[in-house]
Every structure is written in C-alpha cells, then in structure tokens.
Chains A and B, each alone.
Chain A
C-alpha cells in the first residue's frame, strides 16, 4: 500500500515537473517556429540560441506588478486563473506515455493512473476548462473581456460535441474507454509493414478531432475568444503578472494534452519498432509523435487567417458535427457487417 502510494506520488511529481518545463519551452518553440516561418530570427539573446529565454520570461512574470481592476469582482477575478489551470493539469494523468519498464527491480507502468472511464474523464475535464475563461471574462468588468468569455463558452460547447463524436469512432473500433487498452489494440502491423494505427481506419474522425482540438485549445484559426484585432486580448485583457502567466500555461497545457490524446487515439501512442526489447524507447516514440503534432498546430497558427464568428459556428454545427455522426454510423455498420 505504502509502496503503491509512493509510486503514485513520484509519478505525479515527475509528470508535473516535466509538463511545466515543457510548457515553458513550448513558448520558446512557438516563437522560434514563428520566426522561422516569417523569415526572421526569433528570441536568440538569452543564453545559447536563446534557450534560457523561458527562464527570463518566468522571472519577468513574477516581478511584474499584479493588478486587480477597481471595479472587478475580486473573488472570481482571483479564482479564474486557478479554474483554468487545474483541469489542464489534471487531464494528463490518464494518458499512457510509455509501456512497462523495470526500475530498481520493479515493474513500473508508464502512466500515472489507469481508470476504466479514462476517455470520459478527459472529456469531462475538457468541459470544465471553460469555466476559467468564462469567469475571467465576466469578473474583469471589461466589455472586451466579457465578449471574449461569451465567445469562448459558445465555441467550446459547440466543438466539444464534434470532439466527442469523433472519439466515438475510435471507441467503436477498440471497444474500451481505457486509454491503455486503446494503445495496446494498436500494436502490431498489417501486411508486415503498416502499423495498426487507428488513423488508417478512422481518417475522417482524425480530421474532425484535429479541427475540434484546434478550437478547444483556442488556437488560430479558431482563436476568436482572444482575437487581438477585435478584443484587445479577449478574456485575459485585464490580467497581468503570474495570473496572466497561468492562463498562458493552461493554454499550452491544453495543447500538450490534446496532442497527447490525438497520439494515443490515432497514432498508436507509445508503440513503435523495438519497443518490446527496449521499453524505454516507448517514451521516445511518444514524445516524438506529440512533438510533431504540436509543430503542426504551430505551423497552422502562422499560416492561416482567423475565421469570422459566424463561419466558426457554421463549420462546427453544420459541417463537423454531421460528418462526425455519419462517421459513427458508417463505422458501426461496417463493423457489424465484418463481424
């Protein structure tokens, strides 16, 4: 019992530390990718290649003045950043980031915990993440913030449906809500060379999942809640210092979680050649896959213009949701005929 508890605590601490470091370096990576795409340099002054930039940013955030607007609702204004970052941090615990390894003579499975409704848990926490944004928008007592908050709540509810429906396609194939089982089902090869990834069976579901994930993480071309050309900075206009940084971190955490979930559901998670004999390789495969997906997100950000709000709603309700439902129907019919 104590051993198990200790194992959990260590895993949670390690995952927590790695996630927060990853968030810091994603902000660096985002600016470097932006520089590269826009044919300029990006941050390169602090340390070699600018690698210490996140550290400098963190220090700057801590020393900035923490401003609470006079007419703001103080309690909710302070609670909102926490409400944004806590679900973002909690989601990752069910995602398997590697197979089983032997450490100090003990078999250790590389996921923090395993629950039989893991996918529903992820969806539930995703749906809770909207509160941070909405409360921040409302409590700031600023019309731009309020507009951002309202836009965010409508957008997140709409795209959650498409996201859930896209996942059902994968669920029907695997027959399990447990992410560990979903990864296990994707081991092995078809015809000896093609990996058994779900994306080859569910390409439509992946496209819908990807678009909905872009909208859920408020990234371009769906970043209407914080559209700087119209709303200054959207729901976090009034925030400064670490509170602002917490919104920033929760956004990157959501990005990591979405990409990890996409990897787990569609790209075989930690599977890859040589995993059976060298289990540590599984973490490397997982990180590479997630990293490539995050790069894709960033590439899209600096390539496409922003949608208009009516276009966003039309895409979500009139295109993504019907396609996702059709995908579920087709998948289950084919599965029924095959079996």
Chain B
C-alpha cells in the first residue's frame, strides 16, 4: 500500500521534472515544478513529516512559485531558444566534461556496494510534529534560525533596491 503510494507520487514527481526541462515556455516549466513540489509534499506526509509537508505547500507552492508565475506573466517573455549563439567553442568542451561526469558516476556506483545502509527501524512517528520542530528550532538550532532571519532581512532590502526604478 505504502509502496504503491510512493510509486505513484514518484512517477508524478519525475514526470513533472522531466516536463520542466522539456518545455520551452517558462510558464509551463513553472507549472510542472508545482506538480513536483506537490508530489514531494505528499511523500513528506508518508515520511511522517507533516509540518514540512504543509510548509512545502505554503512556502514553495503558495509563495515562491506564485512569485515566479507573477514575474513570468509580467515580463511576458518569448519562447526559450536552447541553441548556443555565442561562445560556440563551449560545445566541444562539453565532451570531456561529460566523460569526467560519467566516470565519476560509475565510480560512485562501484563504491556504493560496499556501504550498508543503517538497519531500518520503524520511522519515528513523533518527530515530524509541529511541536517537536518548534522546540528544537528555538533551543538547539537557535543560531541558524536567527541567521536565517538576518538573511531574509537582507533579501528584502536587496529585492527592493534591485527592482526599484531608477529616478531619472
């Protein structure tokens, strides 16, 4: 039952992700990313991380992606052209880099056999609740939390400065 749920949402997630890079129109790409985000949220629920699942929908799908869709609609951009027009020589550089990447991946696949995953216990049911996230966030992880709030403040100021029209 759980495996069936996992497979369904994994297929939706990967399918939307592939559609993301296949589409030329950025609006379609953004909408497919929402599909991936929503199915990941469902997978978080199966992992008993309810708070993170809700945050995934509220923050990612409900705020960040709305901002993306808003900007795409505002700029009303032309379709994407994947061909490289400048710096044609980059094409030939792609071959050695791809070879290196594939070699690296093969090395990882060879090494991974020697690693044994930890014994799987029944996933803890209590750790994903809002209460445990809150207590840990404001005690043990207080410093990262405060650093994040400073980061957000900087982002707000940066966004206003960048997007404001120059007074001429």
Q: A contacts B directly in the complex (CB < 8 Å)?
A: yes
Mark A residues whose CB is within 8 Å of B.
Answer: 76, 115-117, 120-121, 123-128, 130-131, 134, 137-138, 146, 149-150, 153-154, 156-157, 160, 177
- B149 in the interface (beta carbon within 8 A): no
Contact B63 A157 (CB under 8 A): yes
* Residue of chain B at shortest CB distance from A164: B58
Give the distance to chain A from B74, nearest Cβ to Cβ, in Å.
7
Which 7 interchain pairs have the tightest Cβ spacing? A127-B62, A120-B54, A124-B57, A117-B50, A124-B58, A117-B54, A153-B70
Give the distance to chain B from A37, nearest Cβ to Cβ, in Å.
35
Sample of 18 more A-B contacts, CB < 8 Å, known A120-B130, A124-B54, A157-B63:
A115-B50, A117-B53, A117-B54, A120-B58, A123-B54, A127-B66, A128-B57, A128-B61, A131-B66, A131-B69, A137-B73, A138-B27, A153-B69, A154-B70, A157-B66, A160-B62, A160-B63, A177-B130
Contact status of A134 and B130, CB under 8 A, knowing A117-B54, A120-B58: no
Give the distance to chain B from A75, nearest Cβ to Cβ, in Å.
9
Which among A120, A123, A146 is the interface contact of B51 at CB below 8 angstroms? A120
Main secondary structure of the interface of B (DSSP, over half): helix
Contact status of A134 and B66, CB under 8 A, knowing A128-B61, A177-B130: yes
In the bound complex, residues from chain A placing their C-beta under 8 Å from that of B46 are none
Which among A123, A124, A125, A134 is the interface contact of B70 at CB below 8 angstroms? A134
Query: Would you give the 0/1 interface string for B41-64, flagging 1 where the beta carbon is closer than 8 Å to chain A?
Result: 000000000110111011001110
In the bound complex, residues from chain B placing their C-beta under 8 Å from that of A126 are 62
Complex-state Cα separation, A127 to B69, whole angstroms: 13
Q: Chain B, interface size: which category?
A: 20 to 34
In the bound complex, residues from chain B placing their C-beta under 8 Å from that of A76 are 27
Query: Would you give the 0/1 interface string for B17-45, flagging 1 where the beta carbon is closer than 8 Å to chain A?
Result: 00000000001000000100000000000
Complex-state Cα separation, A10 to B74, whole angstroms: 45
In the bound complex, residues from chain B placing their C-beta under 8 Å from that of A120 are 51, 54-55, 58, 130
Give the distance to chain A from B113, nearest Cβ to Cβ, in Å.
39
- B129 in the interface (beta carbon within 8 A): yes
Give the distance to chain A from B16, nearest Cβ to Cβ, in Å.
14
In the bound complex, residues from chain B placing their C-beta under 8 Å from that of A160 are 62-63
Interface centre among A124, A126, A131, A138 (most CB of B within 10 A): A124
In the bound complex, residues from chain A placing their C-beta under 8 Å from that of B130 are 116-117, 120, 177
Give the distance to chain A from B49, nearest Cβ to Cβ, in Å.
10
Contact B50 A127 (CB under 8 A): no
Complex-state Cα separation, A76 to B61, whole angstroms: 18
Interface centre among B27, B34, B62 (most CB of A within 10 A): B62
* Residue of chain A at shortest CB distance from B65: A131
Give the distance to chain A from B72, nearest Cβ to Cβ, in Å.
9
* Residue of chain B at shortest CB distance from A130: B66
In the bound complex, residues from chain A placing their C-beta under 8 Å from that of B67 are 157
In the bound complex, residues from chain A placing their C-beta under 8 Å from that of B50 are 115-117
Give the distance to chain A from B60, nearest Cβ to Cβ, in Å.
10
Contact B51 A127 (CB under 8 A): no
Contact B54 A127 (CB under 8 A): no
Which among B27, B54, B63, B73 is the interface contact of A150 at CB below 8 angstroms? B73
Complex-state Cα separation, A126 to B63, whole angstroms: 11
* Residue of chain A at shortest CB distance from B70: A153
In the bound complex, residues from chain B placing their C-beta under 8 Å from that of A124 are 54, 57-58, 61-62
In the bound complex, residues from chain A placing their C-beta under 8 Å from that of B57 are 124-125, 127-128
In the bound complex, residues from chain A placing their C-beta under 8 Å from that of B58 are 120, 123-124, 127
* Residue of chain B at shortest CB distance from A79: B31
In the bound complex, residues from chain B placing their C-beta under 8 Å from that of A134 are 66, 69-70, 73
Contact A117 B66 (CB under 8 A): no
Contact A150 B70 (CB under 8 A): yes
In the bound complex, residues from chain B placing their C-beta under 8 Å from that of A153 are 66, 69-70
In the bound complex, residues from chain B placing their C-beta under 8 Å from that of A138 are 27, 73
Give the distance to chain A from B161, nearest Cβ to Cβ, in Å.
17
In the bound complex, residues from chain A placing their C-beta under 8 Å from that of B73 are 134, 137-138, 146, 149-150
Give the distance to chain A from B92, nearest Cβ to Cβ, in Å.
39
Complex-state Cα separation, A177 to B74, whole angstroms: 36
Contact A116 B55 (CB under 8 A): no
Contact status of A150 and B69, CB under 8 A, knowing A124-B57, A128-B62, A157-B63: no
Complex-state Cα separation, A42 to B102, whole angstroms: 73
In the bound complex, residues from chain A placing their C-beta under 8 Å from that of B69 are 131, 134, 153
